[in-house]
Amino acid sequence: MDVITYGAFMALVHVLIQFVFIIRVLIRPHRQPASRVAWVVVIISLPVFGMLIYVFFGEVNIGRKRIAKLRNILEKMPEFSSVILRNNKYTKNNIPQNYSDLFRVGQSINGFEPIGGNTAQLMDDSNSAINAMVADIDAAEHTVHILFYIWLPDNNGCKIVEALKRAAGRGVVCRAIADDLGSRVMIRSLHWQTMQTAGVKLAVALPIGNPLLKPLTGRIDLRNHRKIIVIDSNITYCGSQNCADPEFLVKAKYAPWVDIMVRFTGPIATQNQFLFASDWMMYSGENIDELLQKPVTADHAGLPAQVIGTGPTVRYSAMPEMFVSLMFTAKNELIISTPYYVPDEAIQNALCSAAYRGINTIIIFPARNDSWVVGAASRSYYADLLEAGVKIYEYEGGLLHTKSLSMDKEVTLIGSANMDRRSFDLNYENNILLYDPELTESIRKRQIEYIEQSRLIEQREVANWPFYRKLKNNSVAMFGPIF
C-alpha cells in the first residue's frame, strides 16, 4: 500500500510539474500558436526529457542582468538622429516615394534612418573580400572594429589576425568581438593571445560558461551571428561571410561555402559602428560613446542605405517584418538566396502571394545543406511554393551561404540574417537595406550566376517524392516552431 501511495504521489507531482511547464508555455509572450502547440506536445509526450528540453531551449532570454545592462547602454548611447543633424546636404537620401514606407519599417527597428552619400562595391568572392579587408586595415589611421560569428584560425582568419596586430602596432585602436560558440577555436588559440599581447582589444560575445548552469541565467544557444567591419568610421563591410576560408575546414564536405560581401564607404559605416558599439560596450565594458558623437558627413552624393540590426532584445518579429515588407512591396521581380529556410506563416504566405500576383519570384537554396534538419524542414515548404508559382533552384556549386534579396532591380537587402526561426528569434543579426539600381543589378547578376549553377525544382518532382521523404520533411518541420 505504501508503494502504491508513493507511486501515486510521485505521479501526481509529475503531473503538477508538467502543468506548471504547460502554463509557462501558454503565458510566455511573443510566441506563435504553432510554437505553443509544439511545446505542449513535447512536454506531454516526453514526460521528463521534454521538460528538460524546455529548460535549455524553451525561453528566448539572454538573462536579466544582461538585458538590464544592455538597456542601460542603449539608453545612454547618443541618438544617431542627433548626430546627423550636423551633417551636410549629401547625407540626405533620394529614395523614391514608392519605397519610403519600406525604409520606414527599417527605421522603426533601430532608429536608423536611410542615409545618403555612400559608395559600394560588390566583392568578387570570399578571398577577395578578406584581401580587401586586410588592405583597409593596413591603411587604417584611427580605428578598426570587427565582429564575427565564426572566426577560424585558417589562412583567411590568420590574415585578419596579422593585419590587426600590425595596425595596433602603429597606434591604431583595434577592437574585435567574436562569438563564444562560433569562434571557440580561435578564442582558445594562441592567435587570440598574441592579438591581445599586440594591443588589440578583444571581447567575447555571449560567453557560454558552464553549460549545465547556463539555463539558470539565459538560453544556452542564443548567438551573435553578426558580421561587422568598420574602419576609420568611414569604411564598412556587410554580407554573409564569416572570417574563414571558403573551404571551411570545420565542415569541409560541404565546401566551398559561397558568400556575398559588399564594401561600403560613407555615412552608412557610422550606423554599423553604432551597432558594433552596442555589442562592444555590452561585452567589454569599455564606453566608446565619444567616438559615436562625431558628425556624420559625406563629400559627394551617393546611394542611400540603412542598417538593420535585430536580435532577442530588439523588437519581436522585426526581421520577419522586414522580409514580408519587401515581398509585398515588389511589383515585378523578387530574387532571394538563403541557406536556411524555416519561415513563419507570414513569410511563407508573402512569398506565395508575390507569385500569385504575377511577380517573377525566385528563391535559391543549397542542394546540400550542412544541417539535415533545416534541409528537411525547408523542403516541406516546396509544394506550396511551387503551386503558387515560385521558382525554386537548388545550388550545386557548394554550400550557398549567401543571404540576399533583390527587388525590382532597384532595392537590395543583404547581411547575416537567414529566413529561419533562429535568425528571427535567437540570433543577433545585421543587414543593410539599400536603394541603388546599379548595385542591385550587380547583386542580381551574382544571383543569376547562382541560378546558372543550380537545378530547377519541378512541381511534379516534389509531388513524386516517396512517402517516407515527405513524412520526414513534414515531421521535422512540425517541430520547427520550437526552435
Q: Judging by beta carbons within 10 Å of its beta carbon (0-12, 13-18, 19+), is residue 314 exposed, middle or buried?
A: middle
Helix-helix angle 49-57:2-27, to 10 degrees: 30
Whole-number Å distance between alpha carbons of 128 and 142: 24
Residue 56 cell numbers, joined: 535549455
Pairing assessment for the beta strands 228-231 and 235-239 based on DSSP bridges: antiparallel
Per-residue pLDDT of the chain (483 residues; tens, 9 = 90+): 455 576 677 677 767 777 777 787 777 766 666 677 777 777 777 777 667 767 666 666 666 677 777 777 777 777 776 666 555 666 778 899 999 999 999 999 999 999 999 999 999 999 999 999 999 999 999 999 999 999 999 999 999 999 999 999 999 999 999 999 999 999 999 999 999 999 999 999 999 877 666 666 666 778 999 999 999 999 999 999 999 999 998 898 999 999 999 999 999 999 999 999 999 999 999 999 888 888 777 778 899 999 999 998 888 899 999 999 999 999 999 999 999 999 999 999 999 999 999 999 999 999 999 999 999 999 999 999 999 999 999 999 999 999 999 999 999 999 999 999 889 988 999 999 999 999 999 999 999 999 999 999 999 999 999 998 989 988 888 776 555
H/E run at residue 264: strand 261-265
Residue 67: CB atoms within 10 A of its CB come to: 14
Residue 81 cell numbers, joined: 538622429
Amino acid 60 reads V
Amino acid 436 reads D
Residue-by-residue DSSP string for 177-233: EEETTTTHHHHTSHHHHHHHHHT-EEEEES----TTTGGGTS-TT-EE---EEEETT
The 3-state DSSP class for residue 413 equals strand
From 82, 100, 98, 97, select the one nearest 306 (Cα to Cα). 100
Helix-helix angle 33-45:49-57, to 10 degrees: 140
This prediction's pTM: 0.89
Could you tell me the sign of the dihedral formed by the alpha carbons of 19, 22, 26, 30, in that order? Answer: positive
Largest Cα separation within the chain, whole Å, is 88
* Number of alpha carbons in the 13 Å side-chain half-sphere of residue 236: 28
In degrees, rounded to 5, the angle at the alpha carbon of residue 81 between the alpha carbons of residues 289 and 312 is 70
Q: Look-up: residue for cell 560558440?
A: 181
| Residue burial 90-118, b: 16+ Cβ < 10 Å; e: rest | bbbbebeeebeebbebbeebbebbbbbbb
Residue 19 cell numbers, joined: 502543468
Residue 340 cell numbers, joined: 536556411
Whether 427 contacts 294, CB under 8 Å: no
Whole-number Å distance between alpha carbons of 251 and 249: 5
pLDDT attached to residue 84: 63
Whole-number Å distance between alpha carbons of 243 and 127: 10
Residue 466 cell numbers, joined: 516517396
Whether 386 contacts 457, CB under 8 Å: yes
Whether 322 contacts 344, CB under 8 Å: no
